C-alpha cells in the first residue's frame, strides 16, 4: 500500500502504485496515475489527466498537470504524460496540452528539470535532458541529451536538436541545430558541443565531421553573411554521405529553412490566431466568437 502522509490530500479516483511515497501537504487529483517507486516529497500538486511513470522524484512545490495558459483552450480533459526516473525539482510547473495539436504534453525519461523551470502546453521533451530554471513557451520540441542553461527563454514552436547545448540567459527564437552550442545576445551558434558529445561516447572522427559541418554552415555566415546556403548543405551531404549525425544535422537545417521565421514547426501551426483577435475580426466584418 502506498505510503501517504496524513496531511496529504489524495482523491480516491487517483491510481497510485503500492510503493509510491506521498509526503506532507501534497495534493493529488482524481485523474492522476503515479507509477511504482515514485516519490512526492512534500507540498507537490498533481492535477488534471496526468500520468507519471516509475521512479520519479517530485520536489516541494512542483505543480504538474495544470490547465494550459492558452486562449484556445476551453476546458477539455487534456493530458500530461511523464516518463520514468525524472528529477522534477522545486517550483517546476508543467502544463497539459491544449488538445489542438499534440496528444499530450510529454516528458521522457531520466531528465533533470531544475528549480523554477516552466514547461508550457503541447511541449515534447525527450530523455536525458538537463534543464535549469528556464521558460519554455508552448509547442516546443526538445530532443534527447539537450542541456539548457539557467535563465534561458525559448519561443513557441522552436525545435531544439539532440545533443545541443544552450548557454544561460539565451533568448531562443529560432530552431537550434543538433550537436551545436548556442548562446549570447543575440543568440548565435558558437561551435560544436564537443564536451557533450565526448561525454556521451561519440567517436573522435564523428566530432571532427561535425566541426567541419559547423565551419561550412556557420563560420561562412560570420564572415560573409552567406552561410547556410543550399550549396553548403549540398557539399556537406556529398562529403559525408555515410555519417548519420552529419546527415541528421543537415536535415534539421533544411527543415528550419523550410519553416517560418526559422522555426520548422511554425509552418505546421493551425491558423487560429485570427479568431483570438477581436480587432481583426471587426476589421473583416466578422465576429471574434466564430
Question: Exposed, middle or buried: residue 19 (CB in 10 Å: 0-12, 13-18, 19+)?
Answer: middle
Residue 167 annotated as catalytic = no
Contact 28, 46 (CB under 8 A): yes
Residue 143 annotated as catalytic = no
Which among 138, 161, 196, 216 is annotated as catalytic?
A: 138
Q: How many CA atoms lie within 13 A of 196 on its CB side?
A: 22
Q: Give the C-alpha separation, 198 to 275, whole Å.
A: 48
Nearest to 123 by CA among 112, 134, 137, 135: 137
Which among 122, 143, 144, 175 is annotated as catalytic?
A: 122
Provide the 10 A C-beta neighbour count for residue 161. Answer: 24
Which among 49, 61, 95, 121 is annotated as catalytic?
A: 121
Question: Exposed, middle or buried: residue 217 (CB in 10 Å: 0-12, 13-18, 19+)?
Answer: buried
Nearest to 21 by CA among 61, 58, 64: 58
Cell numbers linked to 43: 507540498
Q: Give the C-alpha separation, 238 to 260, whole Å.
A: 27
Helix (H) or strand (E) holding 106: strand 105-107
Residue 121 annotated as catalytic = yes
Among all residues, which ones are annotated catalytic?
121-122, 138
Amino acid at each position: 500500500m502506498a505510503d501517504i502522509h496524513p496531511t496529504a490530500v489524495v482523491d480516491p479516483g487517483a491510481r497510485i502504485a503500492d510503493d509510491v511515497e506521498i509526503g506532507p501537504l501534497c495534493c493529488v487529483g482524481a485523474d492522476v496515475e503515479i507509477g511504482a517507486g515514485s516519490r512526492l516529497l512534500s507540498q507537490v500538486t498533481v492535477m488534471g489527466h496526468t500520468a507519471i511513470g516509475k521512479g520519479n522524484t517530485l520536489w516541494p512545490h512542483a505543480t504538474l498537470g495544470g490547465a494550459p495558459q492558452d486562449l484556445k483552450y476551453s476546458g477539455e480533459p487534456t493530458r500530461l504524460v511523464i516518463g520514468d526516473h525524472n528529477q522534477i525539482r522545486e517550483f517546476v510547473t508543467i502544463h497539459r496540452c491544449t488538445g489542438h495539436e499534440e496528444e499530450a504534453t510529454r516528458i521522457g525519461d531520466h531528465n533533470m528539470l531544475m528549480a523554477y523551470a516552466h514547461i508550457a502546453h503541447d511541449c515534447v521533451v525527450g530523455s536525458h535532458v538537463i534543464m535549469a530554471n528556464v521558460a519554455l513557451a508552448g509547442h516546443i520540441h526538445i530532443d534527447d541529451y539537450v542541456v539548457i542553461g539557467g535563465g534561458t527563454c525559448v519561443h513557441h514552436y522552436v525545435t531544439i536538436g539532440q545533443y545541443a547545448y544552450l548557454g544561460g540567459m539565451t533568448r531562443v527564437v529560432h530552431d537550434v541545430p543538433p550537436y551545436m552550442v548556442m548562446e549570447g545576445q543575440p543568440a548565435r551558434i558558437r561551435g560544436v558541443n564537443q564536451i557533450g558529445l565526448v561525454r556521451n561516447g561519440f567517436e573522435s572522427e564523428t566530432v571532427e565531421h561535425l566541426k567541419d559541418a559547423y565551419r561550412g554552415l556557420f563560420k561562412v555566415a560570420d564572415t560573409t553573411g552567406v552561410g547556410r546556403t543550399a550549396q553548403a548543405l549540398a557539399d556537406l551531404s556529398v562529403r559525408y554521405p555515410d555519417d548519420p549525425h552529419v546527415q541528421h544535422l543537415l536535415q534539421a537545417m533544411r527543415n528550419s529553412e523550410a519553416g517560418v521565421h526559422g522555426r520548422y514547426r511554425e509552418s505546421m501551426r493551425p491558423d487560429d490566431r485570427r479568431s483570438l483577435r477581436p480587432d481583426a475580426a471587426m476589421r473583416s466584418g466578422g465576429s471574434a466568437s466564430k
